[in-house]
Amino acid sequence: MTRELSRSGLLAEQLTLHGKRVVLRPIEPGDYDFILNLSTSSRITYRWRTRGTTPSPPDFQVMLWRGVLCQFLIERAGDGEPLGLISAYNADFRNQTVYLAILMRDHRGGAIWTFDAIVLFLNYLFANFNLRKIYAETSELSSWTFASGAGRYFEVEGTLREHEYYGGRYWDTYVLAFWRESCEALLEKLLPTLVATPRTGPPPRRRTGTESPGTAPRDTE
């Protein structure tokens, strides 16, 4: 019991969206162009919610918020450069589950930024909501980016065989699950190394969100 109370207290104390490398912040109207351009990039649209379609800006905004519990823009901590989007959607509070999706630009440092964003977001979700586990779906096309975490950070709970069509063939979709009990033990160790220490002076310059999103985003949905 003492260990459980100690762990809960540590997670509550470090409930922050400001990491040393990435910051999660609420989405603002000026961010929509960045998210739309990223979501409809030719390198990712077939794996993201747009699934190859090109929705109008108003339709995209409706789609972006449909079924969402909470979501944040991911920024680089050093200069406020927008990196991606992380969302929790399709919450089922009767069964205490929710789905997680992340959409990231792909450039140097992308893997560690993705990892940091997911850790901060998992801590936020488990601290704020009574959830047993958090699901994520990833295509066989992009699952290699998460393979190293299987059995350590999450469990692969299911495989939808030949579920997605792209490039002349069907691909599997994997259902991943982050369990609260396992995640809390990991967060207890990870958070002290990822959370930013308080700083003084002016905040980093925030990008407008309308700049080029770069190439080859990563995703889970």
* Domain residue extents for the chain: 2-134+182-201
> pLDDT band at residue 64, thresholds of 50, 70 and 90?
very high
* Secondary structure (DSSP) of 130-149: --SEEEEEEETTTGGGTGGG
For residue 128, give both structure tokens: 């704020």
With 70 as the cut, is the pLDDT of residue 109 above it? no
Which residue in 27, 134, 119, 130 sits closest to 70, CA to CA?
Answer: 27
> pLDDT band at residue 127, thresholds of 50, 70 and 90?
very high
Between CA 87 and CA 71 the distance in angstroms is 4
**Which residues, in sequence order, are CB contacts of 49 under 8 Å at separation 6+?**
39, 63, 101, 221
pTM given for the model: 0.80
pLDDT at 216: 39
The pLDDT of 12-16, averaged and rounded, is 67
pLDDT digits (tens, 9 = 90+) for 130-142: 999 999 988 877 7
pLDDT at 145: 61
> pLDDT band at residue 89, thresholds of 50, 70 and 90?
very high
pLDDT at 212: 45
Between CA 138 and CA 142 the distance in angstroms is 7
Amino acid at 72: F
pLDDT at 47: 63
**Which residues, in sequence order, are CB contacts of 201 under 8 Å at separation 6+?**
none
**Measured CA angle at 131 (ends 126, 134), to 5 deg:** 80
With 90 as the cut, is the pLDDT of residue 26 above it? yes
Between CA 136 and CA 199 the distance in angstroms is 34
Residue 62 · residue 36 · CB < 8 Å: no
Residue predicted with more confidence, 185 or 218: 185
pLDDT at 6: 47
Of 17-21, 42-46, 52-56, 201-205, give the range with the top mean pLDDT: 17-21
Strand partners, 75: 23, 82
The pLDDT of 92-97, averaged and rounded, is 97
First to last CA, the chain: 36
Q: Which CATH architecture has domain 2-134+182-201?
A: 3-Layer(aba) Sandwich (3.40)
